[in-house]
Amino acid sequence: MSDASLAVDHIPTAPRAQEKAPGLGPWAWLRANLFSSWWSTAVTLALGYVILRVLFALFEWGVVNAIWSVPYGANGMADTSVCQNAKGIGACWAVLTDKYRLILFGRYPYDEQWRPALVVLLFIGLYVVSAMRRFWRKELVLVWIAVLAAVGVLMWGGVLGLTPVSEDAWGGLPITLILATFGLAFAFPLAVLVALGRRAKRLPAVRLLCVLYVELIRGVPLISVLFMASVMFPLFMPEGLNVNKLLRAQIAFILFTGAYLAEVVRGGLQALPKGQAEAADALGLGYWQKTMLIILPQALRLVIPPLVNTFIGSFKDTSLVLIIGLFDLLTMGKVALSDPPWQGFSTEVYIGLAVVYIAFCFAMSTYSRSLERDLNRSGQR
Amino acid sequence: MSHTAVSNGVQGPPAIVLDKVNKWYGAMHVLRDVTLTVAEKERVVVCGPSGSGKSTMIRCINRLETHQEGRIVVDGTELTDDIRALDTIRREVGMVFQSFNLFPHLTILENCTLAPIWVRKMPKAEAEALAMSYLERVKIPEQAKKYPGQLSGGQQQRVAIARALCMNPKIMLFDEPTSALDPEMIKEVLDTMIGLADDGMTMVCVTHEMGFARQVAHRVVFMDRGEIVESGTPAAVFEAPRTERLKLFLSQILRGH
């Protein structure tokens, strides 16, 4: 129950050790932290040497000797002999400049690829808007519904003069973002309900169901859930009824992520003092009023770090749909590498893919930290 | 036992009736045949050693705890598993806790307007005006925009009282409202409660504040080991204890002060 903004700055602090005192300037800081003794000077110099060598080598490989484009042969194939010769000396970024549209948008018809591109932008816009606290109103739910509907229209087409595109042709970043966004958008409410259900003392059947769900799903790897959805599930379906593969994977993904998120949310519910629920009860608030107004706002705030941790994990887990034959971003990287001229340039492709994944994951973790800071500043405990 | 007959000048229809209430936690018998009637506008102070069941009893009155045997009737409605009856009662009964239990993620004003807006369906502006009038009454209107964590314990407890009053309750329950407070803050909370008593609120208060009991209570109830041992006017209970248990308790309390 300590609030850093309260009164703390009035308490005289004991004088700290000399080397930790702030405001000494960079040279003094260096001396205090890196060259304070013979031993630490040696370590600093040795590590500094290694780091600089690695950085120089990377710079040389990735920038100085890098090849950004290659000529195309008469048959329209890329002539990668320059790259082959430069192997080990310089990076061949030409594989990315040549293949980026295949990697990002998969086998979506080339002339229609502005549609998945727009979908990616829509998703990013949705994330940005949702991240801003001043947009946290009821209308945001409508924005989500509208954007998710627009995503469907753009990808499938068939209306508004858009050529229909079967989801078999979808691939790349839109698949990753669709799986992750729909996945988390549905898994999170599911998780909250399951977490609440697991604590419902008066409803033993509901509680049992929630416990079973969480324990069953948590007990198996995501890969087996995906297999179940793609191979076994159609066997149980009546003849002729064919739920498409992407939707099945999406549902499997939602169920899987929901189980993990439910446990995170339950952790938050348990951390909340019992007095909060009692005070809400005593005021005459109903169960849902109590849950929505008092319990969840506090419980979710407590679990932002593990919640975002699970979000980031799930975002990357979307790449596992590779094994049931969906072409997400990572799979498209592999597909691009299977093109004969570009075989053997996996380092460059995987670095490019890593940059995309890091961008999304880093944005999530940075946002969660700023959100925590904001929420803590606005007051309490 | 003949404690129910003592009514000390407050007549009127009963606000709270406990009739042979029994409660167990597993094998532990925490309330034993508790029978108590509180009349409208009556003020009852409940005291007793820790573990005597006094908090459990007061929490049974708005069903934060459930009793297993006997009847509890509040404001004419019997407490049963019927959710609707429970909602009605909780609207009419305000409660103040030992640990305040303010909602830390809401401002002081929001803490006070929450229940009127959501439970009584009061328009926001009206609820805010009401809340401000009660915050003025507990003498902290200037803190309305702050969060609970920024207030002292005594201020928080006064907010908790204002929050309960905003529901315009007929009965107020106090569960050791000053036990978690530093000594210098106890008075401001007790003064608030005395003001409430002067307005004729029906009050049941678990407390060890003897001065408060003498000044405010119509009746003092002494509980020990889950049962009501003695009950009577503050003067009768404090000056002329009849049982050894009460004598022992009083000597311990007085030694502590």
CA B103 to chain centre: 19
What DSSP state is assigned to residue A172? B
* Per-residue model confidence (pLDDT) at position A239: 65
This prediction's pTM:
0.82
Does A174 fall in a domain? yes
* Per-residue model confidence (pLDDT) at position A15: 47
- How many whole angstroms separate alpha carbon A229 and alpha carbon A305? 30
Interface contact A7, partner B, CB < 8 A: no
**How far is it between the farthest Cα atoms of chain B?**
55
What percentage of chain B has pLDDT greater than the value 90? Answer: 60
Alpha-carbon gap: A1 to the closest alpha carbon of chain B (Å)? 8
User: Residue A325 belongs to a domain with what CATH number?
Assistant: 1.10.3720.10
Q: Which residue has the tokens 């401002």?
A: B107
- CA-closest candidate to residue A36, choices A54, A50, A24: A24
* Per-residue model confidence (pLDDT) at position B9: 56
Does A99 fall in a domain? no
Q: Which residues of B touch A3 (CB under 8 A)?
A: 149-150
Taking the alpha carbons at both ends of chain B, their separation in whole angstroms is 31
Q: Do B64 and A275 touch (CB under 8 A)?
A: no
- Domain limits at A122? 114-379
Q: Which residue has the tokens 């009660």?
A: B134
Q: Which of A284, A293, A379 sits opposite B90 (nearest CB)?
A: A284
- How many whole angstroms separate alpha carbon A282 and alpha carbon B63? 9
Q: Which residue of A has its CA nearest to B173?
A: A282
A89: tokens are: 């000396």
Element (H, E) at A280: helix A274-282
Q: Do A380 and B97 touch (CB under 8 A)?
A: no
Q: Do A282 and B64 touch (CB under 8 A)?
A: yes
Which runs of consecutive H residues, i.e. helices, occur in chain B?
54-61, 83-92, 108-118, 124-137, 153-165, 183-198, 210-216, 234-239, 244-256
Q: Which contacts (CB < 8 Å, 24+ apart) does range A274-281 have?
A: A275/B97, A275/B99, A275/B101, A276/B101, A276/B103, A278/B64, A278/B97, A278/B101, A279/B95, A279/B97, A279/B101, A279/B102, A279/B103, A280/B103, A281/B62, A281/B64, A281/B90
Q: Which of B87, B101, B146 sits opposite A276 (nearest CB)?
A: B101
Query: Number of folded domains in chain A?
Result: 1
B31: tokens are: 């309330």
Span A52-86, pLDDT tens digits: 999 998 898 888 877 787 777 767 677 777 777 77
- CA-closest candidate to residue B104, choices A131, A307, A271: A271
Strand pairing class (B28-39; B43-47): unpaired
Span B78-90, pLDDT tens digits: 888 888 888 888 9
ipTM over 0.95: no
- CA-closest candidate to residue A313, choices A216, A159, A130, A184: A184
Q: Do B115 and A284 touch (CB under 8 A)?
A: yes
| DSSP of B119-186 | TS---HHHHHHHHHHHHHHTT-GGGTTS-GGGS-HHHHHHHHHHHHHTT--SEEEEESTTTTS-HHHH
Cβ(B236)–Cβ(B252) below 8 Å:
no
Each residue's pLDDT, cut to its tens digit, for chain A (381 residues) gives 444 444 444 444 444 444 455 566 888 888 888 888 888 889 989 999 999 999 998 898 888 877 787 777 767 677 777 777 777 787 788 778 778 888 888 888 888 888 888 889 999 999 988 888 888 888 888 988 999 888 888 888 878 778 888 877 888 888 889 889 999 989 999 999 999 999 888 888 999 999 999 999 988 888 888 888 888 777 777 666 666 788 888 888 899 999 999 999 999 999 999 999 999 999 999 889 999 999 999 998 889 889 999 999 988 888 888 888 888 888 888 888 888 778 888 888 898 889 999 999 999 999 988 888 887 765 544
Does A109 fall in a domain? no
Alpha-carbon gap: B256 to the closest alpha carbon of chain A (Å)? 28
Cβ(A167)–Cβ(A155) below 8 Å:
yes
Q: Do A278 and B101 touch (CB under 8 A)?
A: yes
Q: How many CB atoms lie within 10 A of CB B198?
A: 9
Residues 251-280 in A contacting B (C-alpha not used; CB under 8 Å): 273, 275-276, 278-280
pLDDT at B223 over 90: yes
- How many whole angstroms separate alpha carbon A96 and alpha carbon A342? 10
- How many whole angstroms separate alpha carbon A34 and alpha carbon B238? 72
Q: Which of A1, A276, A281 sits opposite B103 (nearest CB)?
A: A276
Does A36 fall in a domain? no
- CA-closest candidate to residue B209, choices B189, B226, B223: B189
- CA-closest candidate to residue A280, choices B147, B160, B211: B160
Span B82-129, pLDDT tens digits: 888 888 889 899 999 999 999 999 999 999 999 999 999 999 999 999
Amino acid identity for residue B25 in this structure = Y
What percentage of chain B has pLDDT greater than the value 70? Answer: 95
Does A308 fall in a domain? yes
Q: Which residues of A touch B104 (CB under 8 A)?
A: 298, 379-381
Q: Do A283 and B115 touch (CB under 8 A)?
A: yes
Is B199 buried (19+), middle (13-18) or exposed (0-12) by CB count in 10 A? Answer: exposed
Does A86 fall in a domain? no
Q: Which of A281, A284, A379 sits opposite B147 (nearest CB)?
A: A379
Taking the alpha carbons at both ends of chain A, their separation in whole angstroms is 5
| DSSP of A201-259 | TT-HHHHHHHHHHHHHHHTS-HHHHHHIIIIIHHHHSPTT----HHHHHHHHHHHHHHH
Interface contact B115, partner A, CB < 8 A: yes
Residues 90-109 in B contacting A (C-alpha not used; CB under 8 Å): 90-91, 93-95, 97, 99, 101-105, 107
A226: tokens are: 């995906």
**How far is it between the farthest Cα atoms of chain A?**
81
Residues 280-309 in A contacting B (C-alpha not used; CB under 8 Å): 280-286, 289, 293-294, 297-298, 301
* Per-residue model confidence (pLDDT) at position A236: 75
SS3 state of residue A20? helix
Q: Which residues of B touch A6 (CB under 8 A)?
A: 149-150
Strand pairing class (B43-47; B219-224): parallel
Q: How many CB atoms lie within 10 A of CB B40?
A: 17
Does A265 fall in a domain? yes
B74: tokens are: 């509040």
Q: Which of B90, B105, B150 sits opposite A282 (nearest CB)?
A: B90
Interface contact A378, partner B, CB < 8 A: yes
Q: Which residues of A touch B94 (CB under 8 A)?
A: 282
Does A28 fall in a domain? no
For residue A241, CA distances in Å to A244, A252, B123, B215 come to: 10, 18, 51, 79
Strand pairing class (B93-96; B171-175): parallel
Interface contact A374, partner B, CB < 8 A: no
SS3 state of residue A120? helix
- How many whole angstroms separate alpha carbon A275 and alpha carbon A372? 24
- How many whole angstroms separate alpha carbon A291 and alpha carbon B101? 15
* Per-residue model confidence (pLDDT) at position A223: 87
pLDDT at B8 over 80: no
Residues of A204-238 as b/e, b for ≥16 C-beta within 10 angstroms? Answer: eeebeebeebbeebeeeebeebbbebbeeeeeeee
Strand ordering across the sheet containing B171-175? B93-96, B171-175, B202-206, B43-47, B219-224, B227-232
Q: Do A379 and B164 touch (CB under 8 A)?
A: no
CA A33 to chain centre: 36
Question: What does the pLDDT average to over B178-186?
Answer: 88
- Strand ranges in chain A using DSSP code E only, listed in sequence order: none
Q: Which of A281, A293, A297 sits opposite B118 (nearest CB)?
A: A293
Cβ(B193)–Cβ(B174) below 8 Å:
yes
- What is the interface size between A and B, counted as CB pairs within 8 Å? 76
Q: B148: pLDDT confidence band, cut at 50, 70 and 90?
A: very high
Contacts of B28 (CB under 8 A, 6+ apart): none
Q: Which of B90, B105, B150 sits opposite A297 (nearest CB)?
A: B105
For residue A378, CA distances in Å to A295, A320, A341, B135, B141 come to: 18, 40, 57, 21, 20
